[in-house]
């Protein structure tokens, strides 16, 4: 009997918490921003090809740009600091925000890839390929 499909919300929640979007059991995070190549529980392939995580990098860059504008505007509106002082204060804050954005966007991107693969049955093909490799 085929299991009911996993919703995007479920796979996104799993991935954002650091677990496999497919099974929800395997820990997909090696270090904070570093993801494993595949799920240790079900074997779902996270990194399919070089450059597969480019979407996550784009999301992180966009989030970081908005954060940069937000931090600079907040400093400008809420303080009477000079521009160099705003930059010296804002840049370390932005570095932390960018690091967080990268981790979040990588995990979210994995859920997006899982959702789009489910639609095309590409994930099933990955399962078959991995099962074949384990048999060999």
Question: Could you tell me which stretch among 29-37, 42-50, 68-76, 92-100 binds Zn ion (CB under 5 A)?
Answer: 42-50
Out of 11, 12, 14, 22, point to the residue binding Zn ion (CB under 5 A): 22
Residue 26 contacts Zn ion per CB under 5 A: yes
Of 96, 102, 21, 94, which is closest to residue 58 (Cα–Cα)? Answer: 102
Whichever of 22 and 53 has its CB closer to Zn ion, that residue is 22
**37-45 contact pairs (CB < 8 A, 24+):** 38/130, 42/127, 43/127, 43/130, 43/131, 43/134, 44/20, 44/114, 44/123, 44/126, 44/127, 45/126, 45/130
Name the minimum Å distance from CB 64 to Zn ion: 29
Nearest distance, CB of residue 122 and Zn ion, angstroms: 15
Question: In whole angstroms, how close is the CB of 80 to Zn ion at the nearest point?
Answer: 52
Select the residue interacting with Zn ion from 13, 16, 18, 23 (CB under 5 A): 23
């Amino acid at each position: 009997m085929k299991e009911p499909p996993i919703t995007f919300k479920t796979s996104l929640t799993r991935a954002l918490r650091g677990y496999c979007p497919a099974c929800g059991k395997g820990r997909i995070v090696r270090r904070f921003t570093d993801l494993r190549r595949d799920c240790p529980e079900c074997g779902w392939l996270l990194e399919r090809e070089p450059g597969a995580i480019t979407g996550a990098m784009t999301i992180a860059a966009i989030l970081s740009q908005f954060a940069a504008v937000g931090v600079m505007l907040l400093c400008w509106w809420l303080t009477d600091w000079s521009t160099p002082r705003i930059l010296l204060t804002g840049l370390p804050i932005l570095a932390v925000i960018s690091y967080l954005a990268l981790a979040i966007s990588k995990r979210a991107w994995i859920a997006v890839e899982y959702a789009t693969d489910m639609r095309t049955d590409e994930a099933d093909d990955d399962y078959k390929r991995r099962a074949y490799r384990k048999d060999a």
